[in-house]
Amino acid sequence: MKRRFQFFLASLAIALLTTSILGQHPLTDKNAKQDAIVQQMAEAVTLIESNYAGEINYGLLTKTSILGMLHSLDPHSNYMDKKDFDEFQTDQSSQYFGIGAQIGARNGQTYILSPFPNTPAERAGLRYGDHIIAVDNESTLGWPSIKVAEKMRGPRGTTVEIKVERPGEPKPLTFKIVRDAVPLPSVINALMLQPGVGYIKLGDATRGFAQTTGEEVRRAIEKLKSQGMTSLILDIRDNPGGLVSQAEDVSSNFLMQGQKIYSLKSRVRQMRAGDVFSRNTSPERFPLVVIINRNSASASEIVAGALQDHDRAVIVGETSFGKGLVQSIFQTPYGGGLTLTTGRYYTPSGRSLQRDYSKLSYYDYIYQRSSDGDTHNQKRSGGEERRTDAGRAVFGGGGVEPDIEVKSPTLTEMQLRLLGPVFAFTRQLINGQIAGLSQFKLESIQRNHVLLDTELVVDDKVLNAFRNFIKESKDFRFISDSVITENAGFLKERIRAEAATAHFGMETSSQALFAGDPQLKKAIEALPQAEKMAKNIAHSGKPSTDTKDNKKTEGKKN
């Protein structure tokens, strides 16, 4: 017990030391304040040890104590124990070691949603809809999907045994798979939407700007140009951010040498503050539209803000998250880590995109928005006004406001409830268990596929098969015929998307949802406006020929 207590105090002292290194108070003043905090925490822990009726989890006590301290500074400073910090570093590295499959919870169980391309999972034969019932002879019954994922990861070259239940198979299938490096690409999709119009999906809720993002975007652009691309839609919706250096690289694809990408201001001497410029002597000059939403954050906002301030792209969608703070990463001796706010970034016009968090709880700041589901209008709420290179008014203080506002599509409560039954039905469908619909049966996964309108067509015959499936099911009795009729269009779209996931992978399945995406539709409509901007590229901004103050910020997280 004494050893655990000492570990707690040591962890706290390390966190205090890390923050004090970055402070501005005299050393004696800092030492006195640190001693007072450690003493108060020691007294609190002593009382807990002596009087608490339950079992004490010292690791959790340490983690939550440091988190509470950091969140009193700002909502983006964070503490990670060794396990979380290892996962954080893996996410930043663009790869991990495991089998390479997207898994998730559906209807209370964990399933393979899609094996990643060219991975051990795909080579072994795992497929969409496989129900994971055991990992290394341990039943997964009652496990959350995150625990299943953790069990499937492990050192490169080691073997994991996975047992799955698959519709149409008389008994469970067992796969022995050797773990290997699995790439985590930032570019999720790169394809031609229509002749001349390219589309790049950069990141999602789980993948942001990692070590290879800039190079991935360059490769995607070259690939699409070889297919005839003359204009581009860059989709950074739901991208949570990541490495600032990669936001620089992505922005530089479209900005001329000497055009500012952002400014970094910090009181910390160790942090190289200043202006960051594009170094690209031959940037892309085609028309560009960028789609953002309320979950586009930090590094995503650096890209959107820079392109907007230089009138290089039309921004479509919703006001972005509003994170203008930059964190530096510090590793602790016990293997954990701190991401500590050490600076603020500003767009080329001088805007801070940081939302005010002074009067909000951590939960409200991270998860809540105004009643209309979007962030506030910065102009109406007194946000700072700046001007783009062309003289357009833009505002700071709460994210990037789009040039063309289009709300994200939302699902009704019933539609959310229908997603589980749709998955259960499609799982049977692609395994040939739905009579009369053999054209949907999966033989093998085809990659890099562009979904045609004539493929995997979900018509009334398929919808009627779904009706019969629901009637025969004991789990989905809440779905009536009238509910199916009222949501027929939604059901057809979602069944097709799920079937596309099975046949072609998640990279292709999103194409089945494009037709019902109002933000993407508006982005295509905005291309003529983007073309006008592109014609003025040579005159947009006043590029500096002196970029000696340019700073690379590898290791900085935004």
List, in order, residues 6 or more apart from 136 with CB less than 8 Å away: 151, 160, 161
* CA–CA gap between residue 90 and residue 75 (Å, rounded): 23
Assign residue 54 a region: left if phi > 0, alpha if psi is -120 to 50, beta otherwise? beta
Distances (CA, A) of 513 to 187, 280, 447, 466: 18, 35, 18, 19
* Complete DSSP assignment for 269-335: TTS--EEEE---SS---S-EEEEE-TT--THHHHHHHHHHHTT-SEEEES------EEEEEEE-TTS
Q: Which two tokens stand for residue 273?
A: 């503050």
- Asked whether 138 and 168 are in contact (CB, 8 A), the reply is no
* Complete DSSP assignment for 163-218: EEE-TT-SS-EEEEEE-EEEE--SEEEEEEEETTEEEEEE--SS--B-TTHHHHHH
Query: Where does 23-57 have alpha helices with state H?
Result: 27-51
Told to judge if 235 belongs to the known catalytic residues of this protein, a careful annotator would answer: no
Nearest partner of 244 among 221, 270, 272, judged by Cα: 272
Half-sphere exposure of 438 (CA within 13 A, CB side): 1
Told to judge if 481 belongs to the known catalytic residues of this protein, a careful annotator would answer: no
The residue annotated as part of the active site, out of 11, 186, 296, 298, is 298
* CA–CA gap between residue 68 and residue 75 (Å, rounded): 10
The residue annotated as part of the active site, out of 260, 323, 492, 522, is 323
**Residue linked to tokens 């007194």:** 382
Looking at the DSSP assignment, which residues form a beta bridge with residue 393? 387
* CA–CA gap between residue 243 and residue 298 (Å, rounded): 9
How many Cβ atoms from other residues are within 10 Å of residue 480's Cβ? 10
**Residue linked to tokens 């690379």:** 552
Nearest partner of 298 among 273, 274, 323, 278, judged by Cα: 323
What secondary structure letter does DSSP report for 242?
A: B
List, in order, residues 6 or more apart from 551 with CB less than 8 Å away: 264, 272, 273, 274, 276
Q: Which two tokens stand for residue 395?
A: 């505002």
Cα 164 to chain centroid distance, Å, stands at: 28
The residue annotated as part of the active site, out of 130, 180, 238, 309, is 309
- Asked whether 397 and 354 are in contact (CB, 8 A), the reply is yes
Q: Which two tokens stand for residue 548?
A: 């000696």
- Asked whether 211 and 184 are in contact (CB, 8 A), the reply is no
Query: Where does 460-509 have alpha helices with state H?
Result: 460-472, 481-486, 488-504, 506-509
Told to judge if 551 belongs to the known catalytic residues of this protein, a careful annotator would answer: no
231 φ, ψ to 5°? -155, 155
- Residues with a catalytic annotation lie at 298, 309, 323
